[in-house]
Amino acid sequence: MSYYTKNKTSEFIAQLSRLQFMCGLTYVWVDNNKSRFFVYFNKVATILLYSFILSEIASLFTQTHLSEKQASDQILFVISHPVLMSYSLSCVYYGEDIKKLLFKLSVDLKGRYNDLEIENEMIRKAKLYSVLYVMTLSAALFFYAFDAVSQVIRTDGTFTTIIMAWPDVKEKGFLPDVVRVGAYLIWWIFMIRASAVYVFVITLTIVLSHQYKNLQSYFYNLEEVFITNNENRDEKEKEYESGLKIGIALHAETMWCVKECQRICSWVFSGQITINITVFCMLMLQMVNSERTLVNALATLSTSLSLLVSTGFFMCNAGDVTVEASILPTAIFFSGWHHCRGKSSIRVRKLITFAIAQSQKPITMRSFNVIELSYRSYVSIVKSSYSVFSILY
């Protein structure tokens, strides 16, 4: 699979795979073009990140002088960070399956039909959503540091962004300060790795939704066989019938891609819903109970925004797959089958009936194999988080 016809999608996916590998994920493109430096760096980073999470869990037993906000942050991170770390493990486990899926979407399917306008739109959307997510995440991490610095300046406290087993939050000195700064930098590495998974899932769902747009374009353009060609009617009918069979095959392979995406990303989808409900409730409790300062509010609000944006991108882009798949039967119906006559018409009508029946099967992606990922579900989950908060408070 290393030798293939390149296109904009395959180039984009290859670049994204290299970038994600630099962020600590497994390499998921067919060229296997891995930097030796990052192979070793990622191994060292993985050891650091496991130690980082274990230290966070151990802090539950060693830290006894936490403020109300620090205690809330401690629980929040102890719950969410192991789940986020498991995302990258999921990518390692499904590494070969991801590689096959990406090759199928970006090379195999695109090699048989590729609407360049839809392709450009897809790449623009994937880049925009990825950048927006990274910006909200970076803002949250920055405001946590800003909050810690403000505590040092206003109350002569310590630079505490993340609660570790050591040093104690009130312990001062050169070595404790170095450890705290180091923990903050490791937190950045940890969140960069987690964000690489988010960007991958966001991109994958966008590629899938636009593959259905690509299929719609294919079927709508099939009618051009009868309009533009100067061949006799029999040749046109044969060409149309052949093109229709190719379209049906493309649709079948696209449905396989959706099922693979559901299987590969199911843990990430389920984990994200869990994090969204639990962490969002804790953030709302934190806003109510913690000290009401601008710096505290910025840290909490930026984290809430990052959480809502990431969940929204997951669910809305997965919902786009459902929406675009539901439009496909219309495109198949208007593909030009009515131009066929005689025996060709009989064969084509059977194919059209089969194709429409297949395309009318609902395509939905789910979390926990129960919750449909869609715009409506996203709004319901945000509302349910607030409902849980109102009950607890």
- For 203-226, the pLDDT digits (tens) are 999 999 999 999 999 999 999 998
Task: Give the pLDDT confidence of 299-353 residue by residue, as tens digits.
Answer: 999 999 999 999 999 999 999 999 999 999 999 999 999 999 999 999 999 999 9
Q: Which SS3 state, helix, strand or coil, does residue 367 take?
A: strand
Instruction: Give the integer Cα–Cα distance in Å for 355 and 209.
Output: 19
What are the angstrom distances between the C-alpha of 287 and each of 140, 162, 274?
15, 18, 20
Average pLDDT along the chain: 94
pLDDT tier at 109 (50, 70, 90 boundaries)? very high
- Using pLDDT thresholds of 50, 70 and 90, give the confidence band for residue 228: confident
pLDDT tier, 1 (very low <50, low <70, confident <90, very high otherwise): low
pLDDT tops 80 at residue 388: no
The one-character DSSP state at 173 is S
Q: Report pLDDT for 352.
A: 97
Residue 3 has pLDDT above 80, yes or no: no
CB 240 within 8 A of CB 225: yes
Q: Who contacts 306 (Cβ-Cβ below 8 Å, separation ≥6)?
A: 133, 136, 137, 139, 140
Residue 357: pLDDT band with limits 50, 70, 90: very high
Cβ(150)–Cβ(295) below 8 Å: yes
**What is the pLDDT at residue 367?**
94
What pLDDT score was predicted for residue 229? 63
What letter represents residue 154's amino acid? R
Residues with Cβ within 8 Å of 248's Cβ and at least 6 positions away in sequence, in order, are 351, 354, 355, 358
pLDDT of residue 390: 74
pLDDT tens for each residue of 10-61: 999 999 999 999 999 999 999 888 889 999 999 999 999 999 999 999 999 9
Beta carbons within 8 Å of 352's beta carbon, 6+ residues apart: 244, 332, 333, 335, 337
Separation CA 304–CA 318 (nearest Å):
21
Given a cut of 60, is residue 261 above it in pLDDT? yes
C-alpha 110/C-alpha 211 separation (Å) is: 9
Cα angle 312, 314, 319 (rounded to 5 degrees) comes to 90
Residues 6+ apart with CB under 8 A from 357: none
Distance in angstroms (rounded) separating the CA atoms of residues 13 and 123: 10
Task: Name which of 2-16, 131-145, 260-274 the model is least confident about.
Answer: 2-16
Q: What is the largest CA-CA distance in the chain?
A: 90
Burial class (CB in 10 A: 0-12, 13-18, 19+), 98: buried
**Angle at alpha carbon of residue 313, lines to 307 and 314, rounded to 5°:** 90
* 365-366-371-377 Cα dihedral, nearest 10 degrees: -40
d(CA 270, CA 236) in angstroms, rounded, equals 49
pLDDT at 2: 58
| Residue of higher predicted confidence among 232 and 188 | 188
Helices 294-333, 233-289: axis angle to 10 degrees equals 160
Higher pLDDT, 294 or 23: 23
Separation of alpha carbons 20 and 322, rounded Å: 27
* Percentage of the residues of the chain whose pLDDT score is greater than 90: 84
Is the whole-model pTM more than 0.85? yes
| Whether the bond into 362 is cis, omega within 30 of 0 | no
Average pLDDT over residues 373-390: 87
